[in-house]
């Protein structure tokens, strides 16, 4: 299939491109490079053995540019990663987040509809469950209250996409609710490349390990969890990338609407992750317990059985693989794509 990949230069998009090519698909990337660089695409091309990944430097909100992309190509499906994703920043800049994530998706969906491409895989998030009503979380679990504008955009866009599919059943819509993606491609040449101070746990750990930051702050050790620190469902980004290839198969079977949790089903605490990282990589990660971070929940992990049953997808990698590959990327690229 020929796939339009919005946000394909980013962390999850770049890993997904590799799995798409490995499965025999081709891709065209549209990205405004707001949170990424062209270098990731150059490295993806090297890994998959092509001269270049077709790329448009464009904002998906730019109707004219998007129109020219759709005029140049006939797409079978869109994998829609493009969006802003920093939870804290979204609280400070709600309008920017609503405008980019909502309006960007509206412009995209309109162009898709007009050009007869009615298949989409959307990057949703475990954040739509809020403080989950059940653990492990199944897709039946009601969506919860999102404490930040970023999460609201994901939850609202899910509803928009459901409505689009209900109104016109020619659409096939797969909503993938990612849990906590970490890790990197085994080559160590592509990975997560945050700007400034990392918001998420793993990039913070790797930056402490390489000496860019003094110590990790652990946000609370008084949660109702086995060791008091927050528990999450970390998933290797390569496993996550492969879930998109499985979702494409569902789309080619004309699945209609599909909603899937994409996680391993295992919960690890912050201390579990830090200790696994130290053990696997033989490096030191100094840390200090700090107050809880506002908006955090104690425990979040999923039941991924539906994705296995209906998509034939199951995570292969464990927490030690994730820690090894995150470190391999960081130590080979201390300054990310600027190296
Ligand atoms: P990322 O920031 O690395 O990638 C997103 C890409 O979208 C970037 O390359 C950015 O430049 C691009 N982009 C943003 N707005 C755009 C616009 N208007 N037009 C064109 N390009 C635009 O993020 P990621 O971690 O790869 O996440 C990909 C998707 O998955 C996002 O939608 C994110 O919300 C979602 N998601 C991420 C996580 C996570 O923890 N990383 C978890 C759940 C869901
Ligand atoms: C994980 C655990 C922190 C940093 C976020 C978004 C979610 C999704 C994935 C996009 C928590 C603790 C963290 C640090 C710490 N993204 N922590 N020190 O918050 O589970 O999920 O990313 O959709 O929507 O909310 O991920 O990596 O920020 O935190 O102690 O410096 O690590 O408190 O328990 P989170 P995270």
Distance CA 178, CA 130 (A): 13
Q: Which atom of ligand 2 lies closest to the CA of 181?
A: 9
Nearest residue CA, atom 1 of ligand 1?
10
Ligand 2 centroid to Cα of residue 169, in Å, is 36
- Tokens 């960081």 belong to 330
Q: Which atom of ligand 1 lies closest to the CA of 14?
A: 26
Ligand 2 centroid to Cα of residue 201, in Å, is 6
14 pLDDT exceeds 80? yes
Ligand 2 centroid to Cα of residue 230, in Å, is 9
Q: Which atom of ligand 1 lies closest to the CA of 178?
A: 43
Half-sphere exposure of 292 (CA within 13 A, CB side): 12
List pLDDT tens digits, range 255-298. 999 999 999 999 999 999 999 999 999 999 999 999 999 999 99
Please list every protein residue whose CB sits less than 6 Å from any atom of ligand 1: 6-7, 9-13, 30-36, 59-61, 81-85, 100, 104, 123, 125, 178, 181
pLDDT score, position 10: 98
Nearest residue CA, atom 26 of ligand 2?
200
Ligand 1 centroid to Cα of residue 279, in Å, is 31
List pLDDT tens digits, range 33-92. 999 999 999 999 999 999 999 999 999 999 999 999 999 999 999 999 999 999 999 999
Strand pairing partners for 260? 176
List pLDDT tens digits, range 95-125. 999 999 999 999 999 999 999 999 999 999 9
The values of phi and psi at residue 87, to 5°, are -60, -50
Q: Are residues 260 and 176 in contact, defined by beta-carbon separation less than 8 angstroms?
A: yes
pLDDT score, position 178: 98
156 band by pLDDT with thresholds 50, 70 and 90: very high
pTM exceeds 0.95? yes
Ligand 2 centroid to Cα of residue 160, in Å, is 26
The number of beta carbons lying within 10 Å of the beta carbon of residue 95 is 8
With a CB cutoff of 8 Å and minimum separation 6, the contacts of 328 are: 184, 186, 188
- Catalytic annotation present for 150: yes
Ligand 1 centroid to Cα of residue 78, in Å, is 14
Please list every protein residue whose CB sits less than 6 Å from any atom of ligand 2: 85, 87, 125, 127, 151, 180, 199-201, 204, 216-219, 230, 232, 270, 293, 296
Range 210-234 average pLDDT: 98
Q: Which atom of ligand 2 lies closest to the CA of 178?
A: 23
pLDDT score, position 316: 98
Q: Which atom of ligand 1 lies closest to the CA of 60?
A: 19
pLDDT score, position 171: 98
Q: Give the pair of three-digit tokens for residue 245.
A: 């290839």
Distance CA 81, CA 122 (A): 7
Ligand minimally distant from the alpha carbon of residue 203: 2
Distance CA 9, CA 336 (A): 13
Choose the catalytic residue: 11, 21, 129, 150.
150
């Amino acid at each position: 299939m020929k796939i339009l990949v919005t946000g394909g230069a980013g962390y999850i998009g770049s890993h997904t491109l590799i799995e798409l090519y490995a499965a025999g698909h081709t891709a065209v990337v549209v990205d405004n490079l707001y949170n990424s660089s062209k270098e990731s695409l150059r490295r993806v091309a090297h890994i998959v053995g092509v001269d270049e990944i077709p790329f448009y430097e464009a904002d998906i909100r730019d109707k004219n540019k998007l129109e020219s992309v759709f005029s140049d190509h006939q797409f079978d499906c869109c994998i829609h990663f493009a969006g802003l994703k920093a939870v804290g920043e979204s609280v400070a800049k709600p309008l920017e987040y609503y405008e980019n994530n909502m309006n960007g998706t509206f412009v995209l969906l309109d162009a898709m509809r007009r050009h007869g491409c009615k298949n989409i895989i959307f990057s949703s998030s475990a954040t739509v469950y809020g403080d989950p009503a059940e653990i492990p979380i199944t897709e039946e679990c009601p969506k919860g209250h999102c404490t930040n504008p970023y999460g609201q955009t994901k939850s609202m866009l899910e509803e928009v996409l459901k409505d689009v599919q209900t109104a016109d059943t020619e659409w096939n819509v797969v909503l993938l609710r990612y849990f906590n993606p970490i890790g990197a491609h085994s080559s160590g040449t592509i990975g997560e490349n945050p700007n400034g101070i990392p918001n998420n746990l793993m990039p913070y750990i790797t930056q402490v390990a390489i000496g860019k930051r003094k110590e990790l702050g652990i946000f609370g050790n008084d949660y109702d969890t086995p060791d008091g620190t927050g528990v999450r469902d970390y998933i290797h980004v390569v496993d996550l990338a492969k879930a998109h290839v499985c979702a494409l198969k569902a789309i080619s079977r004309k699945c209609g609407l599909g909603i899937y949790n994409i996680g391993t089903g295992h919960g690890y605490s912050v201390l579990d992750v830090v200790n696994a990282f130290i053990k696997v990589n033989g490096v030191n990660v100094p840390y200090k317990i700090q107050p809880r971070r506002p908006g955090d929940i104690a425990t979040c992990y999923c039941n991924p059985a539906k994705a296995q049953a209906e998509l034939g997808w199951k995570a292969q990698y464990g927490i030690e693989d994730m820690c090894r590959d995150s470190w391999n990327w960081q130590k080979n690229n201390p300054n990310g794509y600027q190296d």
